[in-house]
Amino acid sequence: MKKLGIRVLVILAMLSTSLSVSAASIAATIGVNVLLNKDIDASVLKELGSLGTVLNVISEVDGLTMRIKANQLSKIQALPYVLAASPDAERNGAPIDTVAATDFSSGLSTWDQDAINVINGSTRSVAYDGTGVYVAVLDTGLVDAWRQYFPQERIAEEYAIAFGGGGGETGNVSTQKNKWEHDQNSHGTHVTSSILGFKAGANLYNGAAPMATIIPVKVLNQNGSGWSSVIAEGILYVASLKVGPLAGSPVVINMSLGGSRLDPLEKAAIDYAISVGVIIVASAGNEGEAGMGYPGAYEPVISVAASGWVGEWTSSSWWKGNVPDPTNPLDFYITDFSSREKSGQDLDVTAPGSWILGPYQVNSGQTSYYYLGGTSMSSPHVAGIVALMAQKLPSLTATQAESILEASSIALPAGSRTITNPDGSTTLISWGNDASGAGLITADAALLNTY
């Protein structure tokens, strides 16, 4: 009986612990994003306010953010005027691989820019450079030393902005003055360099659209992560520029970030931005066979997988970039980390995302350069190409841009390649037909089909 009594006490203790954990989970405070099927008015705010705290009202898309107890979510979802409500979704923009770059002894181009055919050696291969096009980089912002990497006139300081907060912090999304140019992460700076190019010492390195104007929009924190509510605010901010001071200019968004699910508020913001003429490009994700990330997997967004070049680390080519024939698919492969397209997801094209050289600081204020790998690196190559297309055809829409890119791509079907690693060893990399979308995109082919 004593043993049985002990066992009963243990079981009761386990049940008590389980109930405590369950109760704690129900009582947890979470941030949620709510999308309505009607205009937001006083009666709506009053009823929702009885279920939690309304934080941000986003009238452009009839949405709002709230802080609630977890057990109130189902009640909010059941309201007749609520189209969708879900916990604020996490977003991340961290690269997969980093290797320091120390040798800048020769060459003014990198393999990735040659692979998309904007550069041949040190000469541009296309007649367009992005003049007159604005590219909003929704990312971590720029590092303090950004003027040492980019021409000051290429950064639209008057429109640059930082958003912070989100469901994982206070729930409230707020703007933060000048924080956009005090980034400690460097992800946004490296992404920007693939679009504009960059300076290293006395040398200037090519970018896809070197005369485009970048709008830094900080939506990720200093750890390179953030929340979909903050992303939505950043998208809507860019949309407001498009219908306001930039109404006469093409506007492109690059989002080298993603998460596991599409948030309804973020989706509504994307739909609204596209409806007013903004073109959105995003990374496919770094989850390999686990599938694509969002918002990249959402169909209206132009999503980009990551390719590599078989000659990246060979001694004869080093980092300088001399792809003999950018149109030969046998010279390229799909990286093992690049997310594959799953049912219900939309993967559009592929661009360089393996060992991309650019500014990346590990010590604040000290200039440094790294090779980064990730679909975060492939997305800005396509955003740059879209900027060239929009320069040629200022009326270019998101739907047109996606169709042109897909029609202009070079198929990269399922296959395998043996590649050389930074340490000289080799690896066999294989991929299926779900990995490359329509295929490899080059700027010259996309421009040829833009009219």
d(CA 232, CA 222): 18
What percent of the chain is helix, strand and coil (3-state, nearest 5)?
Answer: 30, 25, 45
Each residue's pLDDT tens digit, 173-215: 889 878 999 999 999 999 999 999 999 888 888 899 999 999 9
Q: Is 115 helix (H, G, I), strand (E, B) or coil?
A: helix
pLDDT of residue 11: 34
Least confident residue range of 88-102, 339-353, 369-383: 88-102
Which of 124 and 414 is assigned the larger pLDDT? 414
pLDDT value at 366 more than 90: no
- Known catalytic residues? 139, 187, 376
pTM over 0.95? The answer is no
How many Å apart are CA 218 and CA 140, to the nearest integer? 5
- pLDDT at 103 (0 to 100): 52
The predicted structure's pLDDT at residue 20:
41
| Chain mean pLDDT for the chain | 89
User: Among candidates 112, 449, 162, 175, which has minimal Cα distance to 304?
Assistant: 112
240 vs 11, more confident: 240
Q: How many CB atoms lie within 10 A of CB 327?
A: 13
Write down all domains in the chain, each with its CATH number in brackets.
27-87 (3.30.70.80), 91-448 (3.40.50.200)
Confidence of residue 245 (pLDDT cuts 50, 70, 90): very high
Instruction: Read off the DSSP letter of residue 409.
Output: P
Decide if pLDDT at 105 tops 60.
no
User: Which has more confidence, 20 or 305?
Assistant: 305
Question: In angstroms, what is the C-alpha Rg of the chain?
Answer: 23
pLDDT tens readout for residues 384-402: 999 999 999 999 999 999 9
Q: What is the pLDDT of residues 121-178, one digit of tens each?
A: 668 889 999 999 999 999 999 999 999 999 999 999 999 999 999 875 666 888 987 8
Q: Categorize the per-residue pLDDT at 28 as very low, low, confident or very high, splitting at 50, 70 and 90.
A: confident
Residue 352 has pLDDT above 50, yes or no: yes
pLDDT at 7: 34
- Residue-wise pLDDT tens digits, 253-306: 999 999 999 999 999 999 999 999 999 999 999 999 999 999 999 999 999 999
pLDDT of 320:
57
HSE-CB at 335 with a 13 A cutoff on CA atoms is 32
CA-wise closest residue to 352 among 334, 327, 370? 334
